[in-house]
Structure 1
Amino acid sequence: MEKIGVRDKTIDIAKGIGIIIVVWGHIGQDFILKNEIFLFHMPLFFLLSGYFFKDKGLTFIDVFKKRIQSYIIPYFVFFIIILLCFILLYVSIGYADKIYLSPKIIIQPYGVVRALWFLLSLFEVHIGYYFIAKYIRKEWIQSSVCLLCLILSHIAFRCGISLPLYIDSSLSMMIFFHIGYLMHKYRILDSLKYSLLLLVVCVLFYIAGIIGKIEIDVMVNKIEGNLLLAFLAAFGGAYIVLYVSLLLKKYNKISFINSTLNYLGRNTLTIFSMHLLCIEVARCLFKFPLSIDATILDGIYTTVWGILGSLIIGIPIKKYILPYIRIIR
């Protein structure tokens, strides 16, 4: 395990793999492997976020300030910049009449800013889990509460109830955040032998989810099919990515692959926020095909462009704008 103060390369590699999967999954409706990706890609990121949860010893005010800075400020900064770029793009190509902006877009982002929902949900999960970890000492009770959150969220979905600000989605992801925290605490990834045994089980879970036609879309709190199987398949897919990352860190001799995935992993927030805008730019200016007409090769081009474009536009924002915005001190 990495020393305190040093980034865990396994997790960065997992984030790098995860963000590539996310961009591919957002190429379009019903594109190749979309359902298989949606089965686990968001649970993976919530699990990875929980892996480094360390807020339990802080006061609520400190946690609140910290997470406002981590998620809410980037949310609004990226929201404004992406929306301005989108408007400029559509006006410049004569699509001004196709721009539709509703006031609700601020708290329920759609279109090229819809990926920003993840930042709102991460904020809610961090705050919610802080209270669970701080005030419930027994881990089995913590686990039970997180599972109850998942069940309540699923009941809301089945009843057609949609909570504001993605609260229902956040409730469903609390258990994966908790699992990430426990995996770090008990060093689950330290032993390849035991990790391999868990991998075999997780592969079976994931395959069962695909065969069972489980459909998951965390943003809209959608879980179609058996809830238990959906949970196991989502965890299974997330763990497969973690195990592949562990193998790459330990045995991969091609440093370019690891360094690239590490770099992407350190910039997932930027890519996550910007990639939908970059894909839209590619389709409007460079005539990249819509998903209905796209081939696998088109998907690769679009994914690479979405990632590179996000880094080109987003890294200056991350480096020169976000560090200087300190609304709460």
Structure 2
Amino acid sequence: MSDRSLWVDYSKAIGIVLVVYGHVARGVYNASIPLNVGVYTLVDSLVYTFHMPLFFFLSGLFFMNSLGRRGRLKLISSKIDTIVYPYLLWSLIQGGVIVVLSSFTNNKVEASTLLTILWQPQWQFWFLYALFMIFVLSSILFNSSENRLILLAFAVSILLYIFQKQLPSAYNLGFITNNLVFFIAGILYDRYKKLFPGSGNLNFTLFAFIIFAVSQYIFHLQLDMNYEDKGVLSLLLAMISIVFIVLLSQSLVRKPIHWFLIVGSASMSIYLLHILAGSGVRIILVNLFYIYDPAIHLVIGTLAGVIFPVVVFYFAKHYVWLNYLFSAPLSRLIKK
């Protein structure tokens, strides 16, 4: 595995742990388990300013290479296997579990809700829906050798993000206006990565952390803004945060930790399964053990949301039929 892949897995690991924590914390809060509301709100907003933009950025890194190797149609068909298929499957699985256990969960969901997933993504699965939309759009717009069009599209995507509240959001166009800029940023980073000499440099990483911390402090505490305040400042904050995570990952990968790389490589499995695992732990802690300590819920819930999907991911690598949980079997049959 190349160093490039290693640092990407590190970034995915950092991002997915933040995703799991964010959903576990929100579950604890919505279950009325006593939390320090001020701290919870601040940390929640801090995490949500960049953790999903980070994943769109990382998804953009390999887009041009895949487009050049596969071409438009094969690339889109592969994303039907690896994005649309798990989106549909796990929306139904998680939705079915929530419907059955609705008396124990924070969300009361009717079975009819599951019929809307083709046009109205539910729960955390909005990311897969949005990512596929962006892959299709980018596959139509770009070719593997055109740089000027990418720069123009990046400029347009910045404007779409800044003025998204003034633009129509019908047909889920908000997914594009809110996230395309980060995907194209990933494309551009991959194209011009040689212009970033600070990669892996500890001094650059420390400097990036200081800028990250100061920016988050100003945004949240000085300007009293939160992650929902979309505009120039939130875009700048997300980009600063992504740069910090990238530099941190490139520094940490100098002495890679195997289990952390596993978490990164299993990020899709974790994304698909963590709500079931984290919520399940919360329900057990409250209803069987009557535990209401928020710290216990946050720690155990986050660990369960990471470890259980990693175990499933591990078994899926050894038992072929389990692979069908995460990607369509049709692509493997065609390869054979």
- TM-score range (shorter-chain normalised) is 0.7 to 0.9
**1:145 equivalent among 125, 141, 153:** 153
CA distance in 2 between partners of 1:198 and 1:163 (Å): 40
- SS of 1:284's equivalent in the other structure is helix
- How far is the alpha carbon of 1:35 from its aligned partner? 0.7
TM norm structure 1:
0.78
8 Å CA contact 1:79–1:116 kept in 2: the answer is yes
How far does the alpha carbon of each residue in 1:233-291 deviate from its partner, in whole angstroms, 9 at most, with x for none? Answer: 10111222222211221146xxxxx21111111111111112112222122233189xx
- How far is the alpha carbon of 1:34 from its aligned partner? 0.8
CA distance in 1 between partners of 2:75 and 2:255 (Å): 38
Alignment match, 2:116? 104
CA distance in 2 between partners of 1:148 and 1:235 (Å): 16
CA distance in 2 between partners of 1:135 and 1:307 (Å): 35
Structure 1 residue identity aligned to 2:249:
S
Work out whether 1:14 is the aligned partner of 2:11. yes
8 Å CA contact 2:7–2:250 kept in 1: the answer is yes
Structure 2 residue identity aligned to 1:215:
N
Structure 1 residue identity aligned to 2:185:
I
- SS of 1:26's equivalent in the other structure is helix
Alignment match, 2:226? 215
Alignment match, 2:310? 311
Query: Structure 2 vs 1, CA of residues 274 and 298 (structure 1 numbering), >3 Å: closer, same or farther?
Result: same
How far does the alpha carbon of each residue in 1:67-113 deviate from its partner, in whole angstroms, 9 at most, with x for none? Answer: 1112101111222222233334447x6x8x94424232443233xxx
Alignment match, 2:175? 169
- How far is the alpha carbon of 1:191 from its aligned partner? 4.8
- SS of 2:12's equivalent in the other structure is helix
- SS of 2:176's equivalent in the other structure is helix
CA distance in 2 between partners of 1:186 and 1:271 (Å): 31
Structure 2 residue identity aligned to 1:238:
I
Alignment match, 2:67? 56
Alignment match, 2:263? 264
Alignment match, 2:93? 81
**1:235 equivalent among 239, 242, 247:** 239
CA distance in 2 between partners of 1:26 and 1:202 (Å): 24
CA distance in 1 between partners of 2:12 and 2:212 (Å): 21
- SS of 1:81's equivalent in the other structure is helix
Alignment match, 1:278? 277
How far does the alpha carbon of each residue in 1:131-188 deviate from its partner, in whole angstroms, 9 at most, with x for none? Answer: 333188233x4233223224224434246x43334x3222332222222223223335
Structure 2 residue identity aligned to 1:283:
R
| Stretch moving more, 198-207 or 39-48 | 198-207
Alignment match, 2:32? none
TM norm structure 2:
0.76
Structure 1 residue identity aligned to 2:7:
T
- How far is the alpha carbon of 1:43 from its aligned partner? 1.0
CA distance in 1 between partners of 2:213 and 2:305 (Å): 27
CA distance in 2 between partners of 1:267 and 1:302 (Å): 18
Q: Structure 2: 5+ residue runs without aligned partners?
A: 30-36
Structure 2 residue identity aligned to 1:183:
Y
Aligned positions, number: 302
CA distance in 2 between partners of 1:42 and 1:78 (Å): 19
Alignment match, 1:23? 20
CA distance in 1 between partners of 2:76 and 2:328 (Å): 19
- How far is the alpha carbon of 1:326 from its aligned partner? 1.4
How far does the alpha carbon of each residue in 1:187-207 deviate from its partner, in whole angstroms, 9 at most, with x for none? Answer: 356654778547635742563
8 Å CA contact 2:18–2:47 kept in 1: the answer is yes
8 Å CA contact 1:150–1:173 kept in 2: the answer is no
**1:124 equivalent among 133, 138, 162:** 133
CA distance in 2 between partners of 1:198 and 1:249 (Å): 13
Structure 2 residue identity aligned to 1:81:
I
- How far is the alpha carbon of 1:312 from its aligned partner? 4.3
Query: Structure 2 vs 1, CA of residues 99 and 313 (structure 1 numbering), >3 Å: closer, same or farther?
Result: farther
**Percentage of identical aligned residues:** 20
